[in-house]
Each structure stands twice: as C-alpha cells, then as structure tokens.
Structure 1
Amino acid sequence: MAEPVELTFCVVNTEQRELLLRCLDAIAAERAALPFATEVLVLDNASSDGSAGAARRHPTVDEVVALEQRHGKAENDTALLQRARGRYGLLLNEDSELRPGATAALHAALEADPRAGAAGAKLLRPDGAPQASAWRFPTPLSALAAALFLHRRLTVQSRGTRTRRVDWAQSAALLVRREAAAAIDFFDPLFFVYSDEVDFCKRLRDAGWSTLYVPDAVCVHHEQLSTGAVPERRIVELSRNRDRYMRKHHSAAAAALVRWLTAWTYALRALAALALPDHDPRRYWRHVTATLNPSKGEGLREAAYERNRGGRRL
C-alpha cells in the first residue's frame, strides 16, 4: 500500500522556463532529504516558451496542469491546493529556489503549532541580501508608518532568528495547512495577483488560525520585475488590489485614507528620484496616479484577458 502523501509541492509557472527548471532542481534535492512522502504538481499558466513540456520531462514532477488560458495567481494557487493529496501544500513561484532544509523547517514549524495555518520562508535576493517577506496587515496606521518612512521598523516582521507569529507572509514560498485553507475556501479569485496572500492570511487569522515566519527555511527569490520602462500593468494591478483589500477588510473611509497616505509616500519618492542616480521618477509618479485612481487603467488581469482572446499583448 502506498504511503500517504504528507506534503505537495505546488508550483505555478508563467513564461519562465529556465527559472522553473532551477526551482524543480531544488525541489528534487529537497525531496531526496525528506523522511515522508511528497509529490510535485506544476501548473503552467498558458506559457508559450515550452515550460509545460520541460516540466513533464523533469524527473521530479508527478503531474503537470497545462492551462490553455491564463488565470490569476490566487485562482492558480487554489487549483493546486485543491488537487494536492498532501496534508500540506508548499506554494512556490517558478522564480523561487529552495535552499537545503527549507521544506523540513517549514514542515516542522507547522507540526509544532497545530493552530498555524501557514508558514513563510525567509527570502533572499539572488545576491544573498535578505528580502522582506512578512509584514503587519495593511491599515491606515501602517500606511502612515510608510509615509513617515518608519515602515521597515514598524511593519516588516521578517526579522530575528526564531520562528515567530506574523500577520502575513509572502506566497513565493508559503507552506499551507490544507485543512485550514479549505476551511476558509482557499484564495479569493478576485485578487488576480498582489494582495492575494494578504487577504488569505487575514481570513486565516479571522478564522482562528495563525501565520508563521520561519527564518530557518531559506529560499532565493529571483524576482522577474522590470527595471527599465515603467511597469504600467503591474502598478495598476498592485494599486487596485491594495484598495480592494482595504475595502474588503476595513471601510471605504479607511481605503480612501490609505490611498492618500500611499500616494503621498510615492510622491516623495518621485521627488527624491529626480536627484538620485538609477531611480526613475516616472515609475514612482505612476504609482501616485494609480493609487489615487485604482479603478482606472489596465492591469495584469486585462493583459491576461487580452492574451486569452488572441491578442497576446502582455
């Protein structure tokens, strides 16, 4: 009789074949060191670079779900968690590369805390610098802290060397207790991308579960964000989902206050960027306008719809 699956690696990939293979190589090394049964599911989000075929050929992959149309991050993570057979699902982006022992550390943390519904890893940039990966929930007070440039001290929670409870952790490497995820109906598909894990962890908290930050679990995050031209669609999507979260969990008045405080913060950054090398004031100013008008503009959701209709513009 086959051993029950304890943990499912859940990888979502969008047009990043080479990074996906690095992610899968790291998973293979993790699986070989774990004392329990695991499986690997890859959801390819309608890529055109051969990612699905490369995943099928990788020896560590058990199943590939190849979408013909592009869906949002929240919807894709839910699809994998619902398909998984493990008690736990380790959500990974294709640009996430687990360091040795990361999976075991996340698993041990959730096993030690039965009311923890999720556990996030310590994220590193490719150069080894720490990347903030856990924060307090967004509120008008956290927006005020950012406006006063106190956010690193007051809102970032991914610090220290011991496992600790936090408000929310980034889903680039997030181990989820599937029982807890099912109890809150998984991720909200209205969050196409950005703020999806914030909303998820908030609903976990509201249902009596907690989220952990596990610094012994280390993952390199190869963020594939544009550093050249202003990333218009990403900025629009980020702004609209920040506002959606505030309206969902707070009030219209709180959402409006956060919009103005956040716009002020970006306006100051735009002003500073005029004098700083390698900073584009246009990028920060686009954050200002998108933040103040989150319902305007085309984001990543519209880009996916356009691609699905055959336009393929991203």
Structure 2
Amino acid sequence: MPAGADTPLVSFCVVGTNGAEVLPACLDAIAREQRLLDRPTEVLVLDNASTDDSVAIARAHPVGATVIALRRREGKAANDSQLLDTARGRYALLLNEDSELRPGATKELLDALERDPQAACAGAALLRPDGREQPSAWRFPGFGTTLAQACLLHKPLVVQSGRRTGGDAGGTRKVDWCQSACLLVRVSASATIGHLDPEYFVYGDEVDLQRRLADNGWHTLHVPAARCVHHEGLSTGTGARRRIVELHRNQERYLVAHHGHAVALLCRPFAAWPYLLRALAAIVLPGHSPRRYWWHVRATLAPNRGEGIREAAEAFNAQLEPPAASGGAAA
C-alpha cells in the first residue's frame, strides 16, 4: 500500500491452486498497476491448499501481499467470497493466478465503476498469451441463448465482448455478465446478496453472482480499454474430463435456479447438439479427436453424473492427516 495510505480504494484479490509457474507474473503486473494507479490499494492472495511453492512465492514477492493459506481445498466461489469479505477496499479486483493485467487496466475498470454508480461489476477484455482476444462477456444463459448455440449462432447472438458498437467513447458498455478472471466488483453491492454462491464449486459462480445483482437493480460493464492476459489452463493439473463435468453440472444448476427444472431439462438436447456436430466432424477431420466433444455431449445430457473438480478436491481433503478445519492462516 502507498506510504501514508489508510483505507485502500482497491483490493487486488488473487485466488490460486498450484500455480507457482504463473503467479509471479500476476503479482508483477499488480505491482505495476499500483504504481500507475497512485491510489491506496492492498493485495490479498488466497492459496487454495497448493502443494507447490505458491505460498512461499506469494509471501516473498515485493508486492507485499497478505497471504491466506488454506489447509483444505475449497471451491472458487467460496475462495472469492472469502476475499470479498476480507477486502478493506471499496472495490475488489478478482483475479486468477494466471491473470496478467496489462498496464492501466485497473484504472480503466475503476473509472468505469466510479462513473456509473449503478454498476456493480466491470470486466476487462481477456487476451490469449499470443495477444488474440478471447470472449469475456456474454448474455445470461437461458433457453434463447441455448437455442442460438444449437443453431451455431453463439458468436453473434450470445457473446457480448469483441468489436461492437455502442457504449461510451471508450467502448465501455452494459453487458449481462463478464468472466471473473479479471472482474472489478463494488464490494458494497456484492455484500447485499451475500457475494458468490458456494454451491457453484467452480464455473458459473460469477454468472450467478451477476444475475442476482441484476435482479436487484445492478448491472455489469464490459471495459475493452482494460486488458488482461489470461493464461487459461496453464495453472491447473485437474483433468479435462473433470472440468467438463463441473462445467455442465453448474450450467444445469444455474438454469434450474433462474429458469426452473423444466427449462433446464428442455435445454439439454439443444446444448448437446453443437458438441455432437463437432464430435462427428472430428471423426473424419485429420488431426482431430472426437473424445473431448463426446465428453461434452454426455455431460450436457446427464449433468449430474460423473466426477468433477469438486470430487477431486474432496479426495484431496480426505487424504489430509490429521483432518484440519477449513480455514486459513494469514501472513
């Protein structure tokens, strides 16, 4: 925190699990952002029971982070909610350990929320490591978006990020939801709904958060001028099949919560259809494997079957001796 600062304006909140190879770049970028922002800040790093050197790296980094080291592995929604409860800042910038802020991103997000008092969240444009932009804002899931995906119209009708017109001169515009790999949250707004729902172990938690905020009169902004490299998938050792099971399980959870069981059931075959097409195409296309697409088809049609990331975390916790109470130690 800058010398003489009292209450931070922004809390940088990083969640990580076994991401020692990407965490230094994340913290280096935060340190640059602190210098550019020139506003009081704090840095919180929540380590989700890593077995690598992540905790030591976070504690030794000159950014001066407060490190919360969990002894037992929890879900991403619970992790982010703990950080939002701990943060002293008016705004909390939720980041993954594999998120690397581009210079000036924090200021762009902060300016967007301060200009719009009814905005609860502001999301950055996410970039792949090679600099290509990846989708980072979408319409809320429902039967309409599922049907659009089944008709292979996902990009024009569902994705709300990318090169589009509208919004203010800098391209900032209202969207339904933004990905939480780089999401600035107005803490007071999130607190009114109890932050994130821990039943979403991972995936879908930020969608549900922003939907519940919207239901309570808030909205989300997408800020293309704020840019963040997302090294997606580089910091996880969890198998692809478990991630697919967890993804579709929580998509089903969201649809049931916000649209009811009937709509969720109706969406299943339409959601499976584009994956089935890709699986069939992969059979005949050289260099393509249909296996991953078949996993998606099965998980979409039967979202409550199979083991996901939650079960992997439960198995990890079961091996701990002696069993430790969930919680962390700050340093």
* TM class by smaller structure: over 0.9
For the residues of structure 1 that align with 2:16 and 2:291, how far apart are their CA atoms? 30
State the alpha-carbon separation in 1 of the partners of residues 246 and 28 from structure 2.
31
CA distance in 2 between counterparts of 1:226 and 1:63 reads: 21
After TM superposition, list the pairs within 5 Å mapping 1:97-116 onto structure 2: 97-116=100-119
Count of residue correspondences: 312
More displaced, 279-288 or 78-87? 279-288
2:196 maps to which residue?
187
Shift, 1:274, TM fit: 1.4
Task: Please give the residue correspondences for 1:30-109 in structure 2 after superposition, counting only pairs within 5 Å.
Answer: 30-109=33-112
Per-residue CA deviation, residues 269-311 of structure 1 (Å, 9 max, x unaligned), is 1011112344320110111111111111110000000001118
Structural mapping, 1:258-273, within 5 Å:
258-273=267-282
| Corresponding residue number in structure 2 for 1:254 | 263
1:138 to 138, 141, 144: 141
Q: Within 2, Cα distance between the matches of 1:260 and 1:225? A: 31
Give the secondary-structure state (helix, strand or coil) at the position aligned to 1:17: coil
Distance 1:136 1:11 in 2: 26
Query: How many angstroms does 1:197 deviate by?
Result: 0.6
SS of residue paired to 1:43: strand
CA distance in 2 between counterparts of 1:132 and 1:223 reads 12
How far is 1:62 from its partner?
A: 2.7
Question: How many angstroms apart in 2 are the aligned matches of 1:221 and 1:280?
Answer: 25
State the SS of the aligned residue for 1:214: strand
Following superposition, the deviation at residue 75 of structure 1 comes to: 0.3
Alignment partner for residue 303 of structure 1, among 286, 304, 312?
312
Matched, 1:128 2:102: no
Cα deviation, residue 35, structure 1: 2.4
Asked if residue 176 in structure 1 is aligned to residue 179 in structure 2, the reply is no
Kindly tell me: are residues 7 and 294 of structure 1, through their superposed partners in 2, closer, same or farther at Cα, counting changes over 3 Å?
same
CA distance in 1, matches of 2:244, 2:48: 21
What is the alpha-carbon distance in structure 2 between the residues aligned to residue 225 and residue 271 of structure 1? Answer: 28
The Cα RMSD (Å) is 1.8
- The alpha-carbon deviation at position 98 of structure 1 amounts to 0.2
The residue that corresponds to 1:212 in the other structure is 221
C-alpha separation in 2, matches of 1:58 and 1:165:
36
Q: Which residue of 1 aligns with 2:325?
A: none
Q: Is the 8 A contact 1:122 1:215 kept in 2?
A: yes
Q: Which has the higher contact order (CA 8 A, sep 6+)?
A: 2
- TM (norm. structure 1) is 0.96
CA-to-aligned-CA distance 1:90-130 (integer Å, 9 cap, x gap): 00000000000000000000000000000000000001111
Which sections of structure 1, spanning at least 5 residues, go unmatched? none
Query: Are the equivalent residues in 1 in contact too, given 2:17–2:235 (CA < 8 A)?
Result: no
Q: Over residues 56-84 of structure 1, what are the superposed CA-to-partner deviations in whole Å (9 max), with x where a residue is unaligned?
A: 00010330000011100000000001000
Matched, 1:291 2:300: yes
Gaps of 5+ in 2: 165-169, 322-331
Deviation digits for residues 17-43 of structure 1, max 9, x if unmatched? 120111000000000111210000000
Letter in 2 for 1:130: E
Post-superposition Cα deviations, 1:220-251, rounded to whole Å, max 9, x if no partner, equal 00011699x97111111011000000000001
Once the two structures are TM-superposed, the CA of residue 268 in structure 1 deviates from its matched residue by: 0.8
Q: Could you say which residue in structure 2 is the equivalent of 1:8?
A: 11
Q: Secondary structure at the match of 1:18?
A: coil
Whole-angstrom distance in 2 between the partners of 1:60 and 1:226: 21
Residue 44 of structure 2 aligns to a residue whose secondary structure is strand
- Partner SS, residue 185 of structure 1: coil
For residues 133-157 of structure 1, the C-alpha deviation after alignment (integer angstroms, 9 at most, x for no partner) is 0000001110111111101000000
